């Protein structure tokens, strides 16, 4: 085995991108992080990665990086991720997630990058007819965020058919937790995601948690989601990278989830258990566009990659999220 080639990680100063950069470095891959630091943090870029501040749509910058570092693959995490914001400001999402991704893909093709891994989302399924959701089901996103990501999936599909590049689109379910070694975690302020909100409440950074809907068609009436530990998700990217390199003619679209769900109440109970305190809970109406339950059919990723979940434990996800949240408090 020769030296491993370098990987360009866009959005590597962000939550999931920084965990992927850590996993790549841990596995011996040289990493170049490109991030515009609009939502990412310079300190989140792991030691050992080359860091470049800039935009994915800056073709001369990106093309120069690809050539200078002989980039073999791009892992593309950079983008906008807040669903309600995508409803308020759809063109921002079609710009950051679709148009700028198009420019990045074009630069990759122009500079002979052979492999592309894309952060997609379970939001492409919208409100699925049946769960668990499988990759063969029709996609029908119900918000601009999901549509902005789905269009990039389509671009990659068509581009891979026409050019010598293969790709893997990973459809993330509900990503949560933090690096178990405490090297990174979810740091952006103003979080809306349940586990992040709940650990902030447990640590007194907010008054409590609003439960958005208690009349769903689920066992306890609250929404059910498939929470995946960010380190398992990062590991899936490494396996996808190795698969793309080993089989350059094959591309993949793979769900990333554990195939089981927890309700909002189960999550809050876990946070109470792990924090050793009780978060104050309020009942609120349903949030627009929330499905009752969304879980992943993960048979395809299990059959395609050697990937196996290693952190499939709600209490463990919450414990790591709490530990990170505490360390953020100490940083502030």
Nearest-CB residue to ligand UDP? 223
The single residue of 15, 93, 145, 258 carrying the catalytic annotation is 145
Q: Which residues contact 269 (CB under 8 A, 6 or more apart)?
A: none
For ligand UDP, the binding residues in 282-311 under the rule CB under 6 A are 287, 290
**Beta carbons of 176 and 228 less than 8 angstroms apart:** yes
How far is Cα of residue 64 from the mean position of the Cα atoms in its chain?
A: 27
Among residues 16, 209, 233, 235, the one that binds ligand UDP under rule CB under 6 A:
209
Stretch that binds ligand UDP, among 6-14, 30-38, 135-143, 210-218 (CB under 6 A): 210-218
> Roughly what angle, to the nearest 10 degrees, separates helices 100-110 and 59-69?
40
The 8-class DSSP code of residue 39 comes to S
Among residues 9, 52, 197, 274, the one that binds ligand UDP under rule CB under 6 A:
197
Interaction between residue 271 and ligand UDP (CB under 6 A): no
Report the nearest approach of ligand UDP to the CB of residue 72 (Å): 32
**Beta carbons of 212 and 242 less than 8 angstroms apart:** no
Q: How many CB atoms lie within 10 A of CB 138?
A: 9
Alpha helices in 185-247 (DSSP H): 194-202, 230-246
Two tokens at 285? 């109406």
What x/- string results for residues 147 through 176 when contact with ligand UDP is judged by CB under 6 A?
Answer: ---------------------------x--
**CA 220/CA 210 separation, integer angstroms:** 16
Report the nearest approach of ligand UDP to the CB of residue 73 (Å): 27
**CA 193/CA 187 separation, integer angstroms:** 12
Q: Is 145 a catalytic residue?
A: yes
Cis peptide upstream of residue 132 (ω within 30 degrees of 0): yes
Interaction between residue 194 and ligand UDP (CB under 6 A): yes
Among residues 124, 264, 274, 314, the one that binds ligand UDP under rule CB under 6 A:
264
For ligand UDP, the binding residues in 112-141 under the rule CB under 6 A are none
Q: How many residues does the chain have?
A: 332
Interaction between residue 210 and ligand UDP (CB under 6 A): yes
Interaction between residue 11 and ligand UDP (CB under 6 A): no
What residues make contact with ligand UDP under the rule CB under 6 A? 174, 192-194, 197, 209-213, 223, 225, 264, 287, 290
Would you name the residues annotated as active-site residues? 145
């Amino acid at each position: 085995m020769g030296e491993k080639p370098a990987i360009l990680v866009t959005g590597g100063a962000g939550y999931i991108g920084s965990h992927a950069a850590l996993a790549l470095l841990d596995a011996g891959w040289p990493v170049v992080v490109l991030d515009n630091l609009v939502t990412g943090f310079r300190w989140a870029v792991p030691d050992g990665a080359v860091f470049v501040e800039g935009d994915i749509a800056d073709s001369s910058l990106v093309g120069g990086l690809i050539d200078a570092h002989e980039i073999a693959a791009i892992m593309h995490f950079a983008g906008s991720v807040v669903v309600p914001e995508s409803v308020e400001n759809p063109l921002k999402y079609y710009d950051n997630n679709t148009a700028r991704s198009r420019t990045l893909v074009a630069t990759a093709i122009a500079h002979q990058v052979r492999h592309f891994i894309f952060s997609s989302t379970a939001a492409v399924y919208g409100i699925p007819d049946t769960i668990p959701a499988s990759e063969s089901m029709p996609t029908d996103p119900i918000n601009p965020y999901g549509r902005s990501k789905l269009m990039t999936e389509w671009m990659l599909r068509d581009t891979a058919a026409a050019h010598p590049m293969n790709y893997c689109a990973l459809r993330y379910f509900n990503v949560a937790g933090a690096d178990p070694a405490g090297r990174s975690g979810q740091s952006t302020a103003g979080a809306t995601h349940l586990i992040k909100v709940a650990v902030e409440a447990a640590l007194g950074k907010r008054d409590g948690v609003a439960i958005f809907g208690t009349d769903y068609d689920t066992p306890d009436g609250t929404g059910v989601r498939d929470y995946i530990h960010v380190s398992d998700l990062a590991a899936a990217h490494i396996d996808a990278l190795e698969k793309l390199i080993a089989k350059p003619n094959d591309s993949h679209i793979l769900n990333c989830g554990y195939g089981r769900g927890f309700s909002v109440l189960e999550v809050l109970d876990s946070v109470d258990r792990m924090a050793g305190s009780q978060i104050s809970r309020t009942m609120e109406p349903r949030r627009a566009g929330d499905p009752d339950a969304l879980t992943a059919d993960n048979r395809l990723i299990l059959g395609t990659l050697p990937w196996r979940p290693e952190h499939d434990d709600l209490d463990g996800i919450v414990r790591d999220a709490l530990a990170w949240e505490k360390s953020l408090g100490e940083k502030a």
